[in-house]
A and B are shown apart, each in its own frame.
Chain A
Amino acid sequence: MKKFFALILSLAMILALAACGGNNNQPANDTQAPSDTQEPANNDAQAPADTNEPAAPATGDLITVGVINNDPNESGYRTANDAAMRATFTEENGYKATFYNNNDAAQQIATAQQMVQDEVDFLLLSPASTTGWDTVLQDAQAAGTQVILFDRMLEADESMYVAAVVSDMPAEGKTAVDWLAAQGLDEYNIIHIQGHMGSDAQLGRTGALDEKVAAEANWNYVTQQTADWDEATARTITQSVIDSGKPFNVIYAENNGMARGAVAALDANGITHGKDGDVIVMGFDSDKWAFEAVLEGSWNYMGLCNPLQADTVDSIIKDLVAGNAPAQKIIYTPEQGFDCETLTQADVDTYGT
């Protein structure tokens, strides 16, 4: 027992020392262990650099950035997004970056606060939820940390961040709903499978559809449920609608994984879908396999959500360091909707990730 306590105490001491080391210690609950191994140059170099960290920004050698992102395993979109960020913010590119991934906004906020206290030069944020960030943003401003949003917006005054490189989620939703309206069905009975509630992607993609359903008499929800980006839950939700015998002709899933889950339920019940099928299938994001499903005509529509913002963020930071403010505060990544009638192999190769 004594030995055990000695071990615990010594561990606690080591951890306490490590905590003094500063901003570059990977948070304990970082889910990023796998990626770390892919980029040893990036993370390994951080620990020894801790001691002379305050000197680094002054000499201008390396720009310190804290990157707060969602869990890369949540979807193919996020995997691509996270990989691009990690590939861009490397020491070779002049950055000393700390990455943190979590789908829990509270954890993200706590870590962001820590990063601000550690006085990173730039805080890059992809918030899991759009609210709750006020204190962090104020602290960042007070500490002279510049905040750049990527991928997702949050609810705050524009003055609280220097730039945002984001997907225009409401526009994505609008494009998709407009496309659906253009299909000219007599009646729209929609299974609406939502993403993580409160996320920018969910709010934007739900908002447009909600508006349309409320406005049009022949647009109805058969069910509106969140599957939390999960394929298996989406399949269960769709199956339960099929079991209930309610008629439907549209599946509006807020990401590709969930659309795939819904399609699995359709296939199992012999319900035709896609180009010549009974049910219109719609998904979002940028996965190559989803593009291929649209190309084959198995799905009808995919709203592209471009995951590659890293290069744009990179150039904004370089400009800011050189003293040039970005021309636009909010930069929307180029996005569009693709449907099975017009999608070409070239699009798949260009946009698929």
Chain B
Amino acid sequence: MAAPVKDPKIQVKRPDESIFKRLTRHQLFIPLAALALLVLFNLIADPTFFAVTVKENSLGNPVLSGNIISVLDNASELVILAIGMTLVTASSGGQDISVGAAMAIAGSVILRMVCGGQVSADTMQTPLVLAVLVGILVSMIFGAFNGALVAYFKIQPMVATLILFTAGRSIAAWINNNQLPIINDLGFKYAGTFLPGIPVPTPIFITILVILLFWLALKFTNLGLYTQSVGINANSSRLNGLDPKLIKLLTYVILGVCVAIAGFVRVSRSGSINYSRIAENIEMDAILAVALGGNALSGGKFNIYGSILGAYVIQFLTTTLYKYEVPSTALPAYKAVVVILLVVLSAPVVQEKLASVRKAPAKAAKEVS
């Protein structure tokens, strides 16, 4: 009420597509502001945070090292998951909480393949490509299981995926006969560490590749349009000739692929797995990334770049907290603060108030970055 002139800008988000660009700017406002805040904090507190140095790793390869590299590197799994999670959120209006457990399954399958069933292997028993493909396939099947429950049995996504959330880690352990396999082949670790002669961590390349694939898919296929329309109104999209169930199922299968890639990156960082700990609580971070990206958790319109940015913000926060030696057990509490801020910020009451003062902080954010 205070600023009736500027109100429509925010209210218009849903129905109108002609101002898509403006919308994008608005949607990315929160993650960009959060990122700017973190950057600003680190600049003031300790500018050496941003130092990047070239070192030589133990294999004699030059590698880049520094907090920023750590952020980009460690955020990889989360970014890949957040992309898939955005699609699932958009189509089904709910989130898949089983991604961490599903990563354990994918990682377990891949390790089982490359170790050939042994507890410890010095060389890969199966070609890496085949192992990863099988991991992706298995992960797609589990994604389809989740998707079928959501799309065809109309179970709430969070409840449907609770099944795999509970059972996933046990399944992962069962795949390897409850043993913790270890692969010592350097070739296996390329994906999680460095390729010989290339100073940038490989997960960064994998992430860029995945982002690129999704950019292409959203640009040249109807995936984005169909997902949005199903999420906004499943009935009317059915009347327009789409099959909402199939599209929902498809998004869960796509998330399955993302999960497998993230799981592969995670296990190839160390060449081993710990079923109960691997990617623990990553589902919460992935959902948070989607929310941070300004996507409605109730589905419909989405922006994967917002989620990607959100994922980097979360990792930036984590790395910052580690730098200041916040106990790792206390990290979730800090993330909770972010969630509270987000929820309050996106509440309609606050949005109205903010609309009148929005321009000033937006400018400030640009200057900093």
Contacts and interface: CB of A to CB of B under 8 A. Distances in A.
Interface in A220-244: 223, 225-233, 235-237, 239-240, 242-244
A289 B120 contact: yes
A235 B270 CA distance: 9
A267 B58 contact: yes
Contacts of A257: 272, 274
Contact of B277 (A225, A232, A243, A267): A232
Contact of B328 (A73, A237, A268): A237
B276 A74 contact: yes
B167 interface: yes
Interface residues of A, number: 50
27 contacts: A29-B166, A31-B170, A34-B170, A34-B173, A72-B178, A75-B274, A79-B178, A79-B179, A103-B276, A223-B325, A226-B329, A229-B277, A231-B272, A233-B328, A235-B270, A236-B328, A237-B322, A240-B319, A243-B70, A257-B274, A260-B272, A264-B193, A268-B57, A268-B65, A270-B63, A271-B58, A272-B58
Contact of A231 (B170, B173, B178, B277): B277
A35 interface: yes
Contacts, number: 128
Interface residues of B, number: 47
Contacts of B178: 34-35, 38, 72-73, 79, 83
Interface string A238-269: 01101111000000000001001100101111
Contacts of A289: 120, 182
Interface string A283-299: 00000110000000000
A225 B58 contact: no
B18 interface: no
A37 interface: yes
A215 interface: no
Given A38-B177, A72-B173, A235-B269, A269 B277 contact: no
Contacts of A197: 329
Nearest to B278: A232
Interface string A18-39: 0000000000010111110110
Q: From DSSP, what is the main secondary structure of chain B's interface residues? A: mixed
Nearest to B275: A73
B276 A33 contact: no
A242 B276 contact: no
A71 interface: yes
A76 interface: yes
Interface string B63-81: 1011100100010000000
A242 B65 contact: yes
B280 interface: yes
Nearest to B182: A289
Nearest to A264: B270
A35 B169 CA distance: 13
B323 interface: yes
